[in-house]
Chain A
């Protein structure tokens, strides 16, 4: 039973489209995250939610909007996709409210390709 699951795993779409990536964790964690990994493998946090409340919002374009319907789910919606949005998006969760003190459990990643 997958601890942190993301769908879809692969997403190929045209510029200008809107797409969503879903994430669910069954670990009972309070905190969930979205990370972006670019083509050079650099990992950077985008958002973090604790018990459905947004606690971290990095400098991310407004086209990116996270939504947490409950503490087990954190979805990422992207409007008006651009070429530069092509990346692997990782969902993660942690038991600790602050990731610093606890292990992050990552999903398998969703590879987004914008043509």
Chain B
């Protein structure tokens, strides 16, 4: 079965703190893809990153970084020096060959960054 778990429902931090959003996934596929999406208060869904299962290199993009560990089936997302504009709901998602084209989303983590 395909499943994505984001155990943190809500996180609140003060500006400039670092914060890590956890994502744990379950899949039987040997080839799969992991995604992070951001949903700011305005409501749209914004793509942040896609990672293939055969590429375990961590990725950094500005203040954002992602840690992919197949051994623990995790794809965690860290925001360094958080800013108020980072306040949003963040979704982790899984796509694989067995789910014929659909992304399975986690429950989402609401991040509130206070000034």
Contacts and interface: CB of A to CB of B under 8 A. Distances in A.
Interface of A: 31, 33, 40-45, 48, 50, 55-56, 58, 88, 90, 92, 97-109, 111
Given A92-B45, A100-B103, A102-B50, 20 more contacts: A41-B108, A41-B110, A42-B105, A42-B108, A43-B91, A44-B105, A48-B102, A50-B101, A55-B100, A55-B101, A90-B45, A98-B95, A99-B102, A99-B103, A100-B101, A104-B35, A104-B37, A107-B44, A108-B43, A109-B44
B32 A100 contact: yes
B99 interface: yes
Given A41-B108, A90-B45, A104 B101 contact: no
Contact of B102 (A41, A56, A102): A56
Given A98-B100, A99-B95, A100-B96, A88 B107 contact: no
Contacts, number: 68
A96 to B, nearest CB: 9
A109 B43 CA distance: 7
B107 to A, nearest CB: 6
A42 B44 CA distance: 14
Interface string B16-52: 0000000000000000110101010001111100100
Contacts of B89: 41
A35 B46 CA distance: 14
Contacts of A92: 45
* Binding site secondary structure of chain B: strand
A98 B100 CA distance: 7
Interface of B: 32-33, 35, 37, 39, 43-47, 50, 89, 91, 95-97, 99-103, 105, 107-108, 110
Contacts of B105: 42-44
Contacts of A104: 35, 37, 45, 47, 103
B100 A56 contact: yes
Contacts of A56: 100-102
B105 to A, nearest CB: 4
